[in-house]
Structure 1
Amino acid sequence: MNSTISMMISVLIFFFILRGQLSGMRKPLKKSGVTLLLPILYISTSLMQLFDPSLHIREGQVIIALLIGVVVSIPLIVTTNFEVRDNGDTFIKRNKTVFVLIIVIFALRFLAVATIHAVDPSTLSFMCNLVTFGYIATWRITSFIKFRGVRSSKQGMLSA
């Protein structure tokens, strides 16, 4: 997969993430919270690049890319919280910092692709997708756990 297609996919994922965040702040999340995990499914489609015969990636590169993704997810995890509003529904707490972080992360990705020339484009593209997968999976799974905690504490208060 060439880097232009990869970047277009990244932009599409970027808009899906922003839309999901905005919608979660305006509309209540469903009771199960499974929609929080959908971006993992979206980004996992980029793993299809593994079938590209021109991809030359080593095990160490995969581990480093995933670790970078986990580190990048930390500020997103810290700034993503949930609240139960007066009507009893659970929403993503309004926080502009999340949007700034997402924009910075994607800007850094575009900068990396534009400036790193020591790695062939398909490998660099795949590594960027692995970083994205690492932070989205970590961030969204942790957010799902936070959401479930808020929902269960709300349920505990209702039954008391």
Structure 2
Amino acid sequence: MAVIVFNFRMKETREPVTTKKIIIPPLAMSTGFLQFVIPAFHITWTEAGEAFLVGVMFSVFLIMTSKFEIKGDHVYLVRSKAFIFIIIGLFAIRLALKWYIGSTISIFETSSLFFIVAFGMILPWRLAMLVLFNKKKNEIAL
């Protein structure tokens, strides 16, 4: 998964960024909340809130590596050398937590928790990207 995210991020740096490209990933990922229709995936609101907050804490590292630059009339995402190390580090931390937590609760509850952690990472990251992108876009308009 880390390799897929890294390759996607590298592709993003070669093409101009658009609002649509920023907001589609969290919208598409939100369909994963349908898993909670099935009772085996149910977790408490407290667990969901804690998982989301862990994701938000992890998103700080992703936000720090998201910078934009203007080239001509377009805004591009700047490649970050630290991004691959951050993705690998976050992947390792999530994997270790999954093994630890997975040994105490069902695979379905573990899946629910880590889906929410992932959503908690992507949502603030993409919202921050949208704010930064709009600032750069406004610079072009001036």
| Structure-2 residue corresponding to 1:128 | 114
Residue 56 of structure 1 and its aligned partner are, at CA, apart by 3.6
| Structure-1 residue corresponding to 2:8 | 20
Q: Tell me the amino acid that sits aligned with residue 92 of structure 2.
A: A
**Matched-pair contact (CA < 8 Å) for 1:14–1:106:** no
| Structure-2 residue corresponding to 1:83 | 69
Residue 47 of structure 1 and its aligned partner are, at CA, apart by 1.2
**What secondary structure is seen at the aligned counterpart in 2 of 1:90?**
strand
Q: Structure 1 residues 102-111 or 137-146, which shifts more?
A: 102-111
Q: Tell me the amino acid that sits aligned with residue 97 of structure 1.
A: A
Q: Which runs of 5+ in 1 are unaligned?
A: 1-10
| Structure-2 residue corresponding to 1:143 | 129
**What secondary structure is seen at the aligned counterpart in 2 of 1:26?**
coil
Give the alignment's TM-score, normalised by structure 2: 0.89
Residue 79 of structure 1 and its aligned partner are, at CA, apart by 1.6
Q: Which runs of 5+ in 2 are unaligned?
A: none
Q: Deviations over 1:29-68 (max 9, x none)?
A: 23xx221111102321221210122124111101101111
Count of equivalent residues: 141
Q: Structure 1 residues 51-60 or 130-139, which shifts more?
A: 51-60
Runs of 4+ in 1 over 6 A off after TM superposition: none
Alignment of 1:55 with 2:41, yes or no, is yes
| Structure-2 residue corresponding to 1:103 | 88
Q: Deviations over 1:106-151 (max 9, x none)?
A: 2222222222212221111110110100110110011011001111
Percent of aligned positions that are identical: 26
Alignment of 1:154 with 2:140, yes or no, is yes
**Matched-pair contact (CA < 8 Å) for 1:90–1:151:** yes
In 1: Cα distance, 2:22 partner to 2:47 partner: 28
**Matched-pair contact (CA < 8 Å) for 1:34–1:144:** no
Q: Structure 1 residues 52-61 or 142-151, which shifts more?
A: 52-61
Residue 155 of structure 1 and its aligned partner are, at CA, apart by 1.3
Give the alignment's TM-score, normalised by structure 1: 0.80
In 1: Cα distance, 2:111 partner to 2:28 partner: 16
| Structure-2 residue corresponding to 1:72 | 58
Residue 14 of structure 1 and its aligned partner are, at CA, apart by 6.5
Q: Tell me the amino acid that sits aligned with residue 53 of structure 1.
A: P
In 2: Cα distance, 1:121 partner to 1:127 partner: 10
Seen in structure 2, the aligned counterparts of structure 1 residues 110 and 38 have a Cα distance that, compared at 3 Å, is: same
In 2: Cα distance, 1:38 partner to 1:19 partner: 17
User: How much is the aligned-residue C-alpha RMSD, in angstroms?
Assistant: 1.7
**Matched-pair contact (CA < 8 Å) for 1:25–1:94:** yes
